[in-house]
Structure 1
Amino acid sequence: MYRIFIIEDDEKISGALKRSMEKYGFEASCASRFREIIPELESFSPHLVLLDINLPYFDGYYWCRQIRTRSSMPIIFISAREGEMDQVMAIEHGGDDYITKPIHLDLLIAKVKGVLRRVYGEYASMSGLNIPEDVLNVQGLRLNLSRNEMWWQEKKVELTKNECLLAKCFMQQAGQIVSRDQLLEALWDDVQFVDNNTLTVNVTRLRKKLEEIGLSQAIETIRGQGYKLILNNDREESNE
């Protein structure tokens, strides 16, 4: 099920949009904290954003730029502004499409479905143009696999190739024990001649990178079994 995040401060309009999205089989959520929208967006991890221009505190152009520093997810502007320059600015700031108010829901749904098909669906796989899922998001921790970058809240850290591969393995199994053999196989094709201490060094380096962005003790050592990535406050006791 595709997730649609609606950034619209008029509750009547946002509610109508949410109901329409859900009617057509999408999961939808509306922004509620307009001073700081990004945490809500990251928590919901949408596939597409519907974005108004006239918003409290910061306008839609600002939030579009903020989203673009983190994700390439589709953004469709929805605005009462009908001027050609407004539409040009929306596209130049990173928007994918623009719909004017009053909203014709049939047109909106058609545009939403069309963008989703192009980015994630059958059109994305035509002519070998497969678009990889290059961004992982687990409880607000984001990993950009194509850029080797990790984000937590507003902090970013760059990773080495090995650190990125380890982070991917941990995030795909967050909260579960990941064995040392699994991690070794994720890093090296032939693990027979790999010194076991090499893995320990790489995990230690990833831990330090996580600490740099505010996640201390996020990787727990489970003696005799492997490691576990814990991002919430319900940490199980572990032996280092």
Structure 2
Amino acid sequence: MFKILLIEDDETLFKEIKERLTAWQYDVYGVKDFQKVMESFAEVQPDLVIIDIQLPKFDGFHWCRMIREHSNVPIVFLSSRDHPTDMVMSMNLGADDFIQKPFHFEVLIAKVQAILRRVYNYTTTTSDLRTWMGATIDMESNRVKSDKGVIELTKNEIFILKLLVERKNKVVSREDLMNLLWDDHRFVSDNTLTVNVNRLRKKLAEIGLGEAIETKVGQGYVALEQVEK
């Protein structure tokens, strides 16, 4: 049974989300003291975190940063704010998805199921290691290592890289990536994918692979086997 840490200060909404998720056999935990979110995180050791942006004391972005310093656990943001910068910031901080309030509970459950299935199932059926462009991709630790260093990726980033490398030198459409990442592209913003790919490229640039993923305008993305000089 998966454990979910729900960081939500609206007691009514917290109870409703917990009831819905519990009905799907998830263990849902809350936070008693919003100054001690990391204590709750360490105690629960969740498989997924759902976090509101507007919280007492510190906002959800602060706690996302804190969690990312210690863990690559999947994070889903909830927010009643509708400004695009909120979603972009959440993705840049390493979140896996962003859901705007009010939302349909069926959408929340579908996203949670898709993320958990993707994050915790794919490594059991495939080899944990990939080699690409002289680098080693470790699917279990979410790290990419080359002779220029090591980078750590989020679950979304490592999965995008895995999909592109498996089809290296071939175009993978944005639609295919969204369907494979989130199972149903109707539930994900096209901008979410763009943010994830851009963030992945920025990290790859740290180890000399910034040009190894090429954009094909109007088509999708290609993981190149060799970068032309």
3-state SS of paired residue (1:49):
strand
Partner residue in 1 for 2:91: 91
Q: TM-score, normalised by structure 2?
A: 0.55
Structure 2: gaps of 5 or more residues? 130-138, 143-229
Partner residue in 2 for 1:41: 41
3-state SS of paired residue (2:34):
coil
Partner residue in 2 for 1:114: 114
Q: RMSD of the alignment, in Å?
A: 2.1
**Identity %, equivalent residues:** 38
- Please report how far the alpha carbon of residue 132 of structure 1 lies from its aligned counterpart in structure 2 after TM superposition: 3.7
- Please report how far the alpha carbon of residue 41 of structure 1 lies from its aligned counterpart in structure 2 after TM superposition: 1.3
Partner residue in 2 for 1:27: 27
1:17-76 Cα deviation digits (max 9, x unpaired): 111110001011111210111111111111000000000110000000000011100000
Cα distance change on mapping 1:105 and 1:129 into 2, 3 Å: farther
Matches within 5 A, 1:109-148: 109-121=109-121, 123-129=122-128, 131-132=139-140
Following the alignment from structure 1 to structure 2, what is the Cα–Cα distance between the partners of residues 14 and 129?
Answer: 36
3-state SS of paired residue (1:128):
coil
Matches within 5 A, 1:1-240: 1-121=1-121, 123-129=122-128, 131-132=139-140
1:124-150 Cα deviation digits (max 9, x unpaired): 34542475489xxxxxxxxxxxxxxxx
Tell me which amino acid in the other structure corresponds to 1:93: L
Q: Is the 8 A contact 2:52 2:79 kept in 1?
A: yes
Tell me which amino acid in the other structure corresponds to 1:124: T
Partner residue in 2 for 1:233: none
Higher-Rg structure is 1
1:167-213 Cα deviation digits (max 9, x unpaired): xxxxxxxxxxxxxxxxxxxxxxxxxxxxxxxxxxxxxxxxxxxxxxx
Following the alignment from structure 2 to structure 1, what is the Cα–Cα distance between the partners of residues 117 and 128?
Answer: 13
Tell me which amino acid in the other structure corresponds to 2:109: I
Provide the aligned length of Structure 1 versus Structure 2: 135
3-state SS of paired residue (1:120):
helix
3-state SS of paired residue (2:6):
strand
Specify which structure has the bigger relative contact order, considering alpha-carbon pairs within 8 angstroms and separated by 6 or more residues: 2
Which segments of structure 1 move beyond 2 Å, counting only runs of 4 or more?
A: 123-134
Structure 1: gaps of 5 or more residues? 135-240
